[in-house]
Chains A and B, each alone.
Chain A
Amino acid sequence: MSDSTFTIPIGPQHPALKEPEHITVTIDGEYVVDVKVRLGYVHRGGEKAFEARTYTQGLYLVERICGICAMAHQLCYANNVEGLLGITPPRRADFIRTIIAELERVHSHLLWVGIAGHEIGWDTLFMYTWRDRELVLDLMELATGNRVTHATNAIGGVRRDLTPDMINQILKGMRHLEERVKYYAKAVPAERTVMKRAVGVGILKPQEAVDLCAVGPTLRASGIKRDIRKDDPYSAYDETPFDIITNDGCDVAARVLVRVGELFESLKILDYCIEHLPSGPIRVRVPINVPPAENVSIVEAPRGEDIHYGKSNGTDKPERYKVRAPTLANWASVPTMLKGGYVADLPITLAAIDPCMSCTDRIAIIDIGKRKKWVGSTDQLRRHIKKCHGK
């Protein structure tokens, strides 16, 4: 570090961050020279808590990992446990899950567009998109009974059926949403101050994106066509027609355009699912005890791939449950995006990966600076983990 540089702490409490996370930024004037990310402020010990709960109780714990991707996490969990049990849910349940998951994607992306506007000082966009997001939340409340943590899934199906009346209301709401999304798709790229702040900012080249394991819209905005819904379909995505939206811009503007494009695709999927909703049961009965097995399930959350690993031991509680939320995968690419940019572009670049800190912080990060003895010694780490697990 030379004399002309200067470090700014971003977080754990900072207006640009909606959740606590610490980023040390070294700046030279208005240029960002170096970025260090420190995670772990909202570590809540969720994974350990799974081991003390039955599979059914875990359903309600898992959606509290993230308020916005609640459905994605719960769907991933339900898929995982169903895989451990070796059962498949009824087809109608698959469709209802897809409908709720896509409604959640619409809500999450609208929320993100608003946040992005706020980060670059355009609060009007924030107010407008959040107003329209209320409509999605109302539809979710109608369909599931809750606005945020929906608790739609049960192991072996869904908890609540969609009545024709609900379907009508959802369709009606979607027509309105479609109009609003069209308006944003037209208005946001047309606003020159927004594009001035977004084009060429936070560049993540395609090869870097792949090397740094970026996921979701962040990866797709670097021109890589990868989407779990197409690559490894779950629920009703195997027969639902939709396109993977990509953009070659590799910058914040591309991430905006990818998300706005995905809003249209989500509405398309919703249309298809509602039209082709099969009749039949919504739930199958499942045994309480799960035979010993291991399973990995992946779901495309609004922010990217959400990976869950579950291990059962024949009882009604999991032996081990591990969650890797999409934001954790995206954090690795953040320093690359920020370096060489302006301080003023920090918030929007950070926001562009749509970070969800509490999703991320279920793993303990080893602080190399403070706990040097851990570096290179996997035995010590293993011993520590064993101690944590009470063995």
Chain B
Amino acid sequence: MSWQVVAYDLFSVLIYPGIIFLVALALFYQWVDRRVYARAQNRYGPHHTGPRGLLQPLADLIKLLAKEDIEPSAVDKMIFRAAPILLLTLVFTALFMVPISGTSAIVSFEGDLIFLIFIMTLFAILAFLAGWGSTNRFSLVGGMRAALQTLGYEVPLAVSLIGPAILAGTLSVSNIVAWQAAEGFWSILLNPLGFGIAIIGIIAIIEVVPFDIPEAETEIVAGWQTEFSGRKLGLLRLAHDLELVFVSGLVVALFLGGPTGPIPLIPGIIWFIIKTVIIVFIIGFIRAQFARFRIDQMVSGSWKYLVPLSILQIIILQLYLMI
């Protein structure tokens, strides 16, 4: 392997479209999300730090990183310290498999879609572990809710994400994007139901209203995050923003053609940002429109409506492929 290849790999992992670029993107999406949410509520949202408040998320992150890091004496030290780092690592791992600048992601192999679905489950398991390790009553309840919520969204989300894979005949996210680019159409056209279910599923993954049950502020303070403070909370927040980039990027890759577009002159990254910002808009609006569900309502509603609908979507796709 020549040094140019190594240097290019390092550049793409660390800078573009790797860690530094992704963090910048995550903070930008947090700003978009906060602005959309605020405007929907007839507020201004962040507008003071930097141009139009763009630097507010960065300022918040720096503030949290600089704050005192309190570690209660009763916590399970290993889990408690590892949870934020592990979560961040998991999100980065997942993000490396999502095509951002071109049709191919930094890492891609046949079957990485299955791997991504597995990582999404790990998010919830990590939340449960973090809540368990905190040995706080609110954290415990929050962690259990995070694990319970997985039972609700995991199956319909996985089934709906498989839809585009069936169409493209491959289980690699990058190949699905390449197939959409080659065919010249977006798989949402044949997958409208799947797209809707995927949106609901990703809202449950990033734990925002109406599925912010594990973090329900008025019920269990901050759920599984209650005991985290300072640096650890800062990292958890950053991981949350990166999760937003990841889930919106995944939905864009699978349903909206990824970083490609009808006008070839515009580079892929611009398409990617336009499309993901639309997804972030949708999430922000949904956040403003709904009240929080109860955990039992969420799980039973998901099995009553989302699972049959996602299976119906697969049947429709199979019928289409047979014709």
Task: Verify that A and B bind, or say they do not.
Answer: yes
A16 and B218 CA atoms in complex are apart in Å by 4
Q: Which residues of B contact A121 (CB under 8 A)?
A: 209-210, 212, 216-218, 290-292
Q: Which residues of A contact B294 (CB under 8 A)?
A: 196-197, 342, 344-345
Q: Does B219 contact A (CB under 8 A)?
A: yes
A16 and B219 CA atoms in complex are apart in Å by 6
A52 and B43 CA atoms in complex are apart in Å by 46
Establish whether residues A194 and B291, one from each chain, have CB atoms under 8 Å apart when the complex forms. yes
User: With A16-B219, A344-B213, A344-B295 in contact, do A9 and B137 touch (Cβ < 8 Å)?
Assistant: yes
Establish whether residues A15 and B218, one from each chain, have CB atoms under 8 Å apart when the complex forms. yes
Please count how many residues in chain A sit with their CB below 8 Å of the partner chain's CB atoms: 31
B203 smallest CB distance to A (angstroms): 13
Q: Does A277 contact B (CB under 8 A)?
A: no
Cross-interface CB contact of B290 among A193, A342, A344, cutoff 8 Å: A193
Q: Does A186 contact B (CB under 8 A)?
A: no
Establish whether residues B297 and A196, one from each chain, have CB atoms under 8 Å apart when the complex forms. yes
Q: Does B311 contact A (CB under 8 A)?
A: no
Q: Which of A1-50 contact B (CB under 8 A)?
A: 6-9, 14-16, 27, 30
Q: Does A131 contact B (CB under 8 A)?
A: yes
Contact with B along A181-211 (1 / 0, CB 8 A): 0000000000101101100000000000000
Contact with B along A112-154 (1 / 0, CB 8 A): 0000011111111001100100000000000000000000000
User: With A120-B292, A121-B210, A124-B289 in contact, do A347 and B219 touch (Cβ < 8 Å)?
Assistant: yes
Secondary structure at the A interface, as helix, strand, loop or mixed, is: helix
Q: Which of A79-128 contact B (CB under 8 A)?
A: 117-124, 127-128
Which residue of chain B has its CB nearest to the CB of A197?
B291
A257 and B41 CA atoms in complex are apart in Å by 23
Cross-interface CB contact of B293 among A8, A27, A119, A193, cutoff 8 Å: A193
B56 smallest CB distance to A (angstroms): 18
Q: Does B42 contact A (CB under 8 A)?
A: yes
Establish whether residues B292 and A127, one from each chain, have CB atoms under 8 Å apart when the complex forms. no
Contact with A along B214-234 (1 / 0, CB 8 A): 001111110000000000000
Q: Does B138 contact A (CB under 8 A)?
A: yes
Establish whether residues A344 and B216, one from each chain, have CB atoms under 8 Å apart when the complex forms. yes
Q: Does A346 contact B (CB under 8 A)?
A: yes
User: With A30-B296, A344-B213 in contact, do A15 and B291 touch (Cβ < 8 Å)?
Assistant: no
Which residue of chain B has its CB nearest to the CB of A122?
B291
Q: Which residues of A contact B210 (CB under 8 A)?
A: 121, 193
Chain B CB within 10 Å — which of A16, A121, A197, A345 has the most? A121
A56 and B288 CA atoms in complex are apart in Å by 48
Q: Does A343 contact B (CB under 8 A)?
A: yes
Q: Which residues of A contact B291 (CB under 8 A)?
A: 117, 120-122, 191, 193-194, 196-197
Q: Does B125 contact A (CB under 8 A)?
A: no
Q: Which residues of A contact B141 (CB under 8 A)?
A: 8, 27, 343
B206 smallest CB distance to A (angstroms): 15
User: With A8-B138, A193-B210, A196-B293 in contact, do A124 and B41 touch (Cβ < 8 Å)?
Assistant: yes
User: With A117-B291, A194-B291 in contact, do A122 and B209 touch (Cβ < 8 Å)?
Assistant: yes
B34 smallest CB distance to A (angstroms): 12
Which residue of chain B has its CB nearest to the CB of A116?
B291
Which residue of chain A has its CB nearest to the CB of B209?
A121
Q: Which residues of B contact A118 (CB under 8 A)?
A: 218
Q: Which of A279-333 contact B (CB under 8 A)?
A: none
Q: Which residues of A contact B212 (CB under 8 A)?
A: 121
Cross-interface CB contact of B40 among A7, A117, A124, A131, cutoff 8 Å: A124
A9 and B220 CA atoms in complex are apart in Å by 10
A193 smallest CB distance to B (angstroms): 4
User: With A122-B209, A343-B141 in contact, do A127 and B219 touch (Cβ < 8 Å)?
Assistant: no
User: With A117-B291, A123-B41, A193-B291 in contact, do A342 and B221 touch (Cβ < 8 Å)?
Assistant: no
User: With A121-B212, A122-B290, A193-B293 in contact, do A343 and B219 touch (Cβ < 8 Å)?
Assistant: yes
Q: Which residues of A contact B138 (CB under 8 A)?
A: 8
B97 smallest CB distance to A (angstroms): 32
Chain A CB within 10 Å — which of B138, B216, B219, B289 has the most? B219
Establish whether residues A344 and B219, one from each chain, have CB atoms under 8 Å apart when the complex forms. yes
A191 and B291 CA atoms in complex are apart in Å by 9
Q: Which residues of B contact A346 (CB under 8 A)?
A: 219
B175 smallest CB distance to A (angstroms): 38
A79 and B153 CA atoms in complex are apart in Å by 59
Q: Which residues of B contact A128 (CB under 8 A)?
A: 41-42
Cross-interface CB contact of A197 among B43, B221, B292, cutoff 8 Å: B292
A383 and B43 CA atoms in complex are apart in Å by 56
Contact with A along B181-223 (1 / 0, CB 8 A): 0000000000000000000000000000110110011111100
Q: Which of A346-360 contact B (CB under 8 A)?
A: 346-347
Q: Which residues of B contact A7 (CB under 8 A)?
A: 137
A346 and B221 CA atoms in complex are apart in Å by 13
A196 smallest CB distance to B (angstroms): 6
Q: Which residues of B contact A15 (CB under 8 A)?
A: 217-218, 221
Q: Which residues of B contact A27 (CB under 8 A)?
A: 141
Which residue of chain A has its CB nearest to the CB of B294?
A344
Q: Which residues of A contact B293 (CB under 8 A)?
A: 193, 196-197
Q: Which residues of B contact A123 (CB under 8 A)?
A: 41, 209, 288
User: With A124-B40, A191-B291, A194-B291 in contact, do A119 and B137 touch (Cβ < 8 Å)?
Assistant: no
Q: Which residues of A contact B292 (CB under 8 A)?
A: 120-122, 193, 197, 344
B33 smallest CB distance to A (angstroms): 14
Which residue of chain A has its CB nearest to the CB of B138?
A8
Which residue of chain A has its CB nearest to the CB of B208?
A121
Q: Which residues of A contact B296 (CB under 8 A)?
A: 30, 342
A243 smallest CB distance to B (angstroms): 29
Q: Which residues of A contact B295 (CB under 8 A)?
A: 30, 342, 344
Interface set of B (CB-CB < 8 Å, partner A): 40-43, 137-138, 141, 209-210, 212-213, 216-221, 288-297
13 A-B interface contacts by CB (under 8 A): A15-B217, A120-B292, A122-B290, A123-B288, A124-B41, A124-B288, A193-B290, A193-B292, A197-B291, A342-B294, A344-B213, A344-B216, A344-B294
List 15 extra interface pairs beyond A9-B137, A127-B42, A343-B219, CB under 8 A. Answer: A7-B137, A8-B141, A122-B209, A122-B290, A124-B41, A128-B41, A193-B292, A196-B294, A196-B297, A197-B291, A342-B294, A343-B220, A344-B292, A344-B294, A345-B294
Interface set of A (CB-CB < 8 Å, partner B): 6-9, 14-16, 27, 30, 117-124, 127-128, 131, 191, 193-194, 196-197, 342-347
